[in-house]
Amino acid sequence: MLINVLVSPAILDPLRRSLSWLLSLRDADGKIVCPQHKVEHTGKTAGVIGLALALREHDPDADRAELLGVAVQQARRMVQNLVNEPDSPCYTFRPGRHDPFNCSNSVIDGGACADALAQLVREAGDELSPADREAFKAASLCHARTYLRYAVLDKGIPAQRAWGLVGLAGACSLERDVDLEKAAIEAVGVLEGVQLIDGAYPYHPKEWGAEHPGSADASAFYQSRVTGFLLEALRLLERDPRDPLFAPPLRRGLSFLRALQGPGGRKCGLVEAKPWYWGASYEVASNPFDVFALSRGYSLFGGVELAVAAARAFRAWSAHVSPEGILASHKPGVGTGESYQCPVFWAGHAAWIARCIPELDRALAVADTQTPTNPEASLELQVTHFPAVNLVRLEDAAVVAWVRGERPPGNIHHGSPHGGLLQVVRKSDGRDLLERQRHAIPQEAEWSAKAGLFSLVRGLRSCGKELRFSLWLARADVRRGEPWRALRRPFEMLKQGVIAFGSGASSTAFDRSAELDSFADGVSLSSRLAHRDGSAGGGPKFSRSFRLAGDGLMVEEKLLDTRPMRGLVYRIPAAAEEIERDDRTLRYKLS
């Protein structure tokens, strides 16, 4: 195997650190125990195999024998964790769904394990002992034949099916099996079929059994998983993603993913079906999947914009990796908190960057050549409308912004929490020009008021079930030795869930039925005040427009009537410039 000495050290260094940190958690038996959840996240520690294999191939300073030993050790752990389900022919990788503190399920863990075992056999099979090679192959195929071939067609969440599909396709790469291949190709078609017309994937489609309508919303966190996993599964199945049968939905998925990304490589996290996962309005924990999908997409389909997006995603991710190799999902700041998942999850996911090192290296080289040479070209206005999710992306020479109209119902855990003007990012320095605190009222660039009295019925209807889930989160706090945090959990959920959703506070940010209209240089919204659950808050209506000026975003807010409304206020952003106002109209610029 040849060593690729030309790979950028900027790629290799954070991958080395991520692997080193994971390995520092091993016990004497090689078991990697999560410090936070006190469990072996088998589906995430499977990433050790991908990281080790990639570094032994591309890192000129690597100890190849040592890295192979690391990969074999974790593969043996996986084989030990392959267990026959009681009263079932299925073999699954523990802990999967059997330990709630694993924070995963059998199709995610199984897809990752079957894939990693197959990768090890494919890439280093000649260097393995016959016993190990046969054991790893047998485990991957056993899980695929008894579980994955069915799970990829009946799980309710597209990203979970897609992860299982990668494991199924990996098993197919080890031994020709017509039944497995048939199930895999059928799963590809089903996933393509559930995609929305503008390239977005619903997190949990209504027709696939979503319990809450907000779960069917688009997800900045999950978007790249489905597209990226499809790209890899097709490769393993020896199908060409550029084939007209497969290419259109893949291109659409990449287009929507790129549209979610800002100039600094962070996605607009306010487009999110699963907002409770995150302690901020953005996250980079999903960036490894972004990097893979965009790098592979550029390699297959071309397009400088995909290479630039891959480079941005990688650099945003690597900037959040500590010197010790621990990823932070977001930087600390005003109004931010902790995220649900843990650094072991995120370090394991780095294997998806490791999987595309040569493609990423090429994308970085291309992106670094993209400097504006024509001032007129840099002033081009770009307004991209994604009608299925009622999202518009605006970009000119100075800023990137997102505006959203109608969206699915939501509560504290399900459905995008914010509508209207979501985010404005300055391109020169990546600064967010709007302050976004998850539970704050009023928000910058939004109208708010008091609309009636507190309604316990409305609060319980929206978030009553979430109180029970807060008790489970409290159990996890106790398990990691934080009893005081556990005691606060139910009260926080009561305050931010039931009380906040039952409050009389209203805002245009909560309007889930805003009418959106895009045009050549911007977008307009017809908005109303609404309570957090989206129910009407009464009072006046507003005409809102957001137009690109070439050097920034022009905002115009019009009050359409003068009906009295208690506490009606509009919070002008601190970054606003050129402010003009009269009795019913407010104008300013963000640049």
345 confidence band (pLDDT: 50, 70, 90): very high
pLDDT reported for residue 583: 85
Query: What average pLDDT does range 35-64 have in this prediction?
Result: 96
Element (H, E) at 517: strand 515-519
The DSSP output letter for 416 is -
Rounded to whole angstroms, how far apart are CA atoms 294 and 538? 44
Confidence at residue 539, expressed as pLDDT on a 0 to 100 scale: 85
DSSP string, 207-230: GGT-SSGGGGSBBTTTHHHHHHHH
CATH 1.50.10.10 domain residues, the chain:
9-242+251-264
Return the pLDDT at 371.
Answer: 58
Nearest-angstrom CA–CA distance, 502 and 425: 32
Q: Tell me if 310 sits within 8 A of 248, measured CB to CB.
A: no
Whether 377 has a pLDDT exceeding 50, the answer reads no
Q: Does the N-terminal peptide bond of residue 130 adopt cis geometry, omega within 30 degrees of 0?
A: no
Sequence letter at residue 506: S
CA distance 362 to 307: 8
Rg of the Cα atoms in the chain: 24
Q: What mean pLDDT, rounded, does the chain reach? A: 94
Give me the pLDDT at residue 181, please. 98
Q: What is the structure's pLDDT at 475?
A: 87
Query: Where is average pLDDT lowest: 254-268, 350-364, 452-466?
Result: 452-466
Q: Which residues pair with 542 in a beta bridge?
A: 527, 559
What pLDDT is stored for residue 25 in this prediction? 98
What would the pLDDT profile of 159-188 be if each residue is shown by its tens digit? 999 999 999 999 999 999 999 999 999 999
Tokens of 572: 């002008």
Q: Give whole-number Cα distances, 141 to 86, 151, 177, 237, in Å.
A: 19, 14, 10, 14
On whether the CB atoms of residues 413 and 404 are closer than 8 A, the answer is no
Please determine, for residue 373, whether its predicted confidence score (pLDDT) is greater than 60: no
Measured CA to CA in angstroms, residue 343 lies from 84, 101, 460 at distances of 29, 14, 33
Mean pLDDT of the region 428-447: 91
pLDDT in tens, 493-542: 999 999 999 999 999 999 999 999 999 999 999 999 999 999 998 889 99
Q: Please tell me the least confidently modeled range out of 354-358, 379-383, 443-447.
A: 379-383
Contact, 564 vs 591, CB < 8 A? no
Report d(CA 403, CA 421) in Å as an integer. Answer: 5
Cis peptide before 89 (omega within 30 of 0): no
Q: What is the pTM (predicted TM-score) of this model?
A: 0.96
Q: Over 80: is that where the pLDDT of 5 sits?
A: no
Indicate the DSSP class of residue 481: T
Whole-angstrom distance, CA of residue 577 vs CA of residue 588: 6
Mean pLDDT of 61-84: 97
pLDDT recorded at residue 376: 39
Q: Looking at 220-296, which runs of residues are DSSP E strands?
A: none
Cα gap 59→62, rounded to integer Å: 5
Q: Residue 521 CB: number of other CB atoms within 10 A? A: 17
Distance (Å, whole) CA 296 – CA 359: 6
Q: What is the pLDDT of residues 79-125, one digit of tens each?
A: 999 999 998 999 999 999 999 899 999 999 999 999 999 999 999 99
- Supply the pLDDT for residue 439: 79
438: pLDDT confidence band, cut at 50, 70 and 90? confident
pLDDT exceeds 70 at position 1: no
Give the sign of the dihedral formed by CA 477, CA 480, CA 483, CA 484.
negative
Would the pLDDT of 563 be above 80? Answer: no
Q: Measured between alpha carbons, how far is residue 551 from residues 121, 218, 374, 379, 394 in Å?
A: 54, 30, 15, 7, 12
Q: 9-242+251-264 domain in CATH 3.40.50.720?
A: no
Q: What is the mean pLDDT of residues 359-365?
A: 97
For the chain, give the number of residues.
Answer: 591
